[in-house]
């Protein structure tokens, strides 16, 4: 499969249209618009797995954990007593959430039926369950540096092991690759020389996103380095969505309409979130050289 890149970048104005009247497509630097379709992330869609426990766990999962009443995050202090604070948090969780919803947690102990696989960055500032409100049992989460998905031909790693389990065994209905602002992994990628032979674990990992870096350099060379990094943060998400389609068993479920692929971008500087969906049906009707279509683009602020 050609490694075309979906549209996402900061060099286009508007960067992500806030109107629900457009979708976009990019191959290299070419941008086109398609009619948008209704967003279908599947938060409230019914579980298709015919297991009573999993059905019940999925049905009741949304109410497992009550919304926190705190107005300011209670961060662990930088002291030698950090685990004391962690202990207090755990005991509060057990008393106020686990024991208050004991039946639900016991059912989840028997089986899980998440509707989402979330691939997120390991950055401590972007916990997807905290930001997007996932409750226990709703999302299977894998986190790595720069939220990258390597292509199938790269061989085994923990990220595609999570892909295999969540898609083939848990039969998730949605995969959400979610990136974020000020990503150190993407900055490392953009700072690397193309012929860098450094054996650093980080550099060997982030080079998975080299196609996104190449597109960024081609389309955003007139921007500052910081702006290029932001461009690449979004371009890399789309490169990962395309890499997902290189897994045969995953692409077959997308083709059958059993699985949807989504991109998301969290800007923690101004607390906004952008979401879009890969339009597989339109892509399958077009030449690969033209690029890939996306739909259901939204801006949450």
Tell me: is residue 47 an annotated ligand-binding position.
Answer: no
Using CA atoms of 271, 236, 175, 243 in order, give the dihedral in degrees to the nearest 10.
Answer: 180
- Give the span between the Cα atoms of 46 and 68, in whole angstroms: 26
Relative to beta strand 260-267, strand 272-278 is antiparallel
The secondary structure of residue 66, as a DSSP letter, is: P
Tell me: is residue 183 an annotated ligand-binding position.
Answer: yes
**Per-position b or e across 92-131, b if 16+ CB within 10 A of its CB:** eeeeebbeebeebbebbeebbbbbbbbbbbebeebebeeb
Relative to beta strand 174-180, strand 116-121 is parallel
Relative to beta strand 30-34, strand 23-27 is antiparallel
Tell me: is residue 157 an annotated ligand-binding position.
Answer: no
Q: Work out the end-to-end distance of the chain between its first and last CA atoms, rounded to an integer number of angstroms.
A: 35
Residue 275: φ, ψ to 5°: -135, 140
Tell me: is residue 231 an annotated ligand-binding position.
Answer: no
- Residue 63 CB-density burial (10 A; 0-12 exposed, 13-18 middle, 19+ buried): exposed
Q: Would you say the C-alpha torsion 53, 109, 148, 23 has a positive or negative sign?
A: positive
DSSP of 101-164: GHHHHHHHHH----SEEEEEE--TT--HHHHH-PPTTSEEEEEEGGG----GGG---HHHHHHH
Residue 169 and residue 54 in contact, taking contact as beta carbons nearer than 8 Å: no
Three-state secondary-structure class, residue 213: helix
Q: Which residues are annotated as a binding site?
A: 121, 123, 180, 183
Q: Which residues are annotated as a binding site for Zn(2+)?
A: 121, 123, 180, 183
């Amino acid at each position: 499969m050609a490694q075309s890149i979906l549209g996402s970048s900061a060099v286009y104005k508007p960067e992500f249209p806030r109107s629900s009247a457009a979708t976009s497509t990019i191959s290299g630097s070419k941008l086109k618009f398609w009619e948008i379709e209704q967003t279908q992330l599947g938060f409230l869609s019914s579980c298709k797995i015919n297991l009573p426990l999993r059905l019940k766990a999925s049905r009741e999962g949304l109410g497992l954990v009550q919304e926190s009443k705190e107005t300011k995050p209670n961060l662990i202090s930088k002291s030698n007593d950090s685990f004391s604070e962690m202990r207090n948090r755990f005991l509060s969780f057990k008393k106020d959430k686990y024991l208050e919803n004991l039946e639900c947690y016991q059912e989840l102990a028997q089986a899980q039926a998440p509707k989402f696989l979330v691939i997120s960055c390991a950055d401590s500032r972007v916990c997807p369950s905290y930001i997007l409100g996932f409750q226990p049992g709703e999302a299977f989460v894998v986190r790595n540096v720069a939220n990258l998905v390597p292509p199938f031909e790269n061989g085994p790693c923990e990220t595609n092991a999570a892909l295999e389990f969540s898609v083939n065994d848990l039969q998730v209905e949605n995969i959400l690759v979610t990136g974020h602002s000020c990503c150190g992994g993407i900055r490392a990628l953009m700072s690397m020389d193309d012929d860098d032979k450094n054996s650093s674990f980080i550099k060997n990992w982030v080079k998975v996103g080299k196609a996104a870096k190449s597109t960024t350099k081609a389309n955003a060379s007139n921007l500052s380095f910081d702006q290029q990094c932001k461009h690449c943060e979004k371009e890399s998400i789309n490169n990962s969505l395309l890499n997902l389609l290189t897994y045969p068993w995953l692409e077959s479920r997308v083709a059958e309409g059993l699985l949807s692929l989504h991109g998301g971008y969290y800007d923690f500087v101004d607390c906004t979130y952008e979401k879009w969906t890969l339009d597989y049906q339109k892509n399958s009707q077009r030449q690969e050289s033209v690029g890939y279509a996306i739909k259901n683009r939204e801006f949450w602020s």
